[in-house]
């Protein structure tokens, strides 16, 4: 009997070790062992599209792309923030071309923003798409306006899906390479109460990526989902005062940290997790069943619950 239990323990330990190894090794190689990419040469392009590029991770991606010699089309809300970011980037990189497209990515039909983006990129060899814009309605779903809940799915999931389809078709028809990068989130690794729409929409993005990475291989398009931990961006501006956000803030990454890691991972892995929160919650979710995690959290829900009147809708503008 002792030998049987010893064998069972060894098998279980082996399974856990295999899960951790297959999770950690590809990311370590992509982020730390391989040299940085020359994206312009790899994808034979001088143009990238960045949604939500007026602030946060999107603005950091735009800066790094411009520094690498790639022109950028920034699609974001048509406001002073977009104008200011474009002006600052133009001054910093005078030899590069920056185009801005004022769009509302919460349009559930997609017609308005896709028409504008397609028109703004029709005359260039677009090779890189960064679907980065995000919208986070935070609070009780019952208290969240229905339009806001649906619009967040439009921004977080549908806009990236439509842009991915557009680039896949262009690269297929023009017989050239490309890359699509989704800024997803580690929020969906565990249950995300009081940000349920956000977590669900990002889970959809990550699953979409894993499938498109296989489809895209047929036409030479690399697909990547990035799962950052808590990052200091406008995504959380106006959020209810939650203790968990205060804890995450202590170990928060900067947008430039996320942008640098993202550009290293493109074309090397289909998904990459960034930061201690993402790593730890991913491993926990691999070891403990999701339903069991949900049942374990329920008794402690009061520790992370906002007051019922504290629902906040954080507008889409980029992570």
Catalytic residue among 198, 230, 236, 277: 198
93 is catalytic: no
SS (H, E, C) the chain: CHHHHHHHHHHHHHHHHHHHHHHHHHHHHHHHHCCCCCHHHHCCCCEEEEECCCCHHHHHHHHHHHHCCCEEEEEECCCHHHHHHHHHHHHHCCCCCEEEEECCCCCCCCHHHHHHHHHHHCCCCEEEEEECCCCEEECCHHHCCHHHHHHHHHHHHHHHHHHHHHHHHHHHHHCCCEEEEEECCHHHHCCCCCCHHHHHHHHHHHHHHHHHHHHHHCCCEEEEEEEECCECCHHHCCCCCCHHHHHHHCCCECHHHHHHHHHHHCCCCCEEEECHHHHHHHHHHHHCCHHHHHHHHHHHHHHCCCCHHHCEEECCCCC
Question: Which residues does the annotation mark as catalytic?
Answer: 198
């Amino acid at each position: 009997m002792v030998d049987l239990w010893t064998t069972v323990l060894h098998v279980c330990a082996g399974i856990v070790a295999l899960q951790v190894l297959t999770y950690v090794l590809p990311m370590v190689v992509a982020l730390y062992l391989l040299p940085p990419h020359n994206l312009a040469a790899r994808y034979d392009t001088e143009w990238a599209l960045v949604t939500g590029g007026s602030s946060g991770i999107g603005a950091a991606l735009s800066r790094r792309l411009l520094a690498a010699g790639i022109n950028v089309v920034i699609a974001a809300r048509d406001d002073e923030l977009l104008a200011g970011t474009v002006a600052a980037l133009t001054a910093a990189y005078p030899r590069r071309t920056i185009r801005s497209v004022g769009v509302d990515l919460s349009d559930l039909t997609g017609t308005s923003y896709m028409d504008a983006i397609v028109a703004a990129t029709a005359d260039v060899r677009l090779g890189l798409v960064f679907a980065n814009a995000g919208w986070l309605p935070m609070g009780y779903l019952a208290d969240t306006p229905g339009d806001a809940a649906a619009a967040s799915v439009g921004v977080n999931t549908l806009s990236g899906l439509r842009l991915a389809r557009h680039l896949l078709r262009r690269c297929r028809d023009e017989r050239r390479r490309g890359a699509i990068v989704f800024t997803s989130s580690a929020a969906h690794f565990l249950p995300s109460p009081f940000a349920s729409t956000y977590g669900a929409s990002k889970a959809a993005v990550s699953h979409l990526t894993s499938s498109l990475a296989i489809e895209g291989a047929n036409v030479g398009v690399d697909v990547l989902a990035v799962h950052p931990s808590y990052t200091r961006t406008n995504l959380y501006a106006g959020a209810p005062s939650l203790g968990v956000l205060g804890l995450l803030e202590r170990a928060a990454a900067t947008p430039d940290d996320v942008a640098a890691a993202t550009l290293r991972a493109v074309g090397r892995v289909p998904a990459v997790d960034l930061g201690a929160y993402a790593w730890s919650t991913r491993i926990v979710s691999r070891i403990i069943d999701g339903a069991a995690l949900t049942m374990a959290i329920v008794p402690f829900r009061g520790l992370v619950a906002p007051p019922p009147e504290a629902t906040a809708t954080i507008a889409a503008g980029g992570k």
